[in-house]
Amino acid sequence: MTKMIYPGQTIGIIGGGQLGRMMAVAAREAGFKIAVLEPTMDSPCGQVADIRIVAAYDDEAALEELAEVSDVITYEFENIDYDGLKRLTQMAYVPQGAELVRITQNRITEKQMIVEAGCPVAPYIVASTYGQLEESIRKIGFPCIVKTARGGYDGKGQQLLKSADELSLTKELFEHSQCIAEGFVPFAKEISVIVQRNGYGETYCLPVGENIHVNHILHETIVPARIEEKTAALAEEAAMKIADCLQLVGTLAVEMFVLEDGSIVINECAPRPHNSGHYSIEGCNISQFTQHIRAVCGWPLRKPKLWASSIMVNVLGQHVVSLTNSIPKYPDWSVHLYGKTEAKVNRKMGHITIMTDDLSAALQQIEDSCIWSE
């Protein structure tokens, strides 16, 4: 049953990272209070929260405390304890539920769901052991990508195989979980759609973003994606189908490959606001974070509108000093830093957004800044 949560009430957030922080900032604008459950004391979300519960995500006493102080609970990442979340749904209002996490935190159940929704995926097989992989790999052939069923992000937990001679490289993956092997998709672009839905079934997609990765980490998102209108329509239609199949409440990021003929293949989903949607804070009439808060609080959603072409660029640990020194040079850049205390190489520390009438010139400006050349 969908509840309306009112300003002055408390939103509980599981996870204290940058997504939780940006959710909290959006919620505060509407007058909500924030409670966060996070193992570290000075987390990005904790810095802007009213109540900080410093404990492990599966700590039963901490979950009970979060339930007591919150009128509604959401989460900022999917790799949380499913059993703990399921127990939480029995004592608190968690409109996203626990099944969304169970399905999307395992690549096998996620693939099954995407197929059930009627959307295309790359050919794949499931293997519980290295021996099973050896026996069945011929069904999809080479090149292919072997991924752990659980865990892994930013390129971790996966191995590209160009031939059978490289098969042994996957042995250590089976130490963590079952694996899937996917046929390699010769894609032209990577895109993502952020789809958001409230408990009444009202659903909207943000404009499709084109994603460019460097070393398996998202480098920049270009909006609108440089694709044909029919491809954008296919992408939004697929995201809506998946959202309906899941009976989504909140946010789902659907990452896809665009093939040379303009068709799409679904890669994976994330049941939360997503890095590729950060541009919406400045670039749209409603950000992915504000829309997420409205969805989980039972408010009507707003139809997204793109104000101008936008580019979002991630700021990693090795970029922070160059960026901060360059702020005076680029007054049109919107700078977001997340309050993380330690700038580690390849750790996401923030992002910048550029709204522009000249996409090519803005991309050239990013390159000329030399901030991302390190």
187-373 domain in CATH 3.90.79.10? Answer: no
Residue-wise DSSP of 133-201: HHHHGGGT-SSEEEEESB---TTTTEEEESSGGGGGGGGGGGGTS-EEEEEPP-EEEEEEEEEEE-TT-
How many CB atoms lie under 10 A from the CB of residue 185? Answer: 16
Which of 159, 112, 150 is CA-nearest to residue 128? Answer: 150
| pLDDT tens, per residue, the chain with 374 residues | 899 999 999 999 999 999 999 999 999 999 999 999 999 989 999 999 999 999 999 899 999 999 999 999 999 998 888 999 999 999 999 999 999 999 999 999 999 999 999 999 999 999 999 999 999 999 999 999 999 998 766 567 899 999 999 999 999 999 888 999 999 999 999 999 999 999 999 999 999 999 999 998 999 999 999 999 999 999 999 999 999 999 999 999 999 999 999 999 999 999 999 999 999 999 999 999 999 999 999 999 999 999 999 999 999 999 999 999 999 999 999 999 999 999 999 999 999 999 999 999 999 999 999 999 86
For 123-183, which CATH class? alpha beta
- Choosing among 3.90.1150.10, 3.40.50.1370, 2.60.120.460, 3.40.50.20, the CATH entry for 10-94 is 3.40.50.20
Delimit the domains of the chain by residue range.
10-94, 123-183, 187-373
> How do 187-197 and 250-259 pair as beta strands?
antiparallel
Query: CA distances (Å), 17 to each of 129, 275, 279, 372, in order?
Result: 34, 12, 18, 23
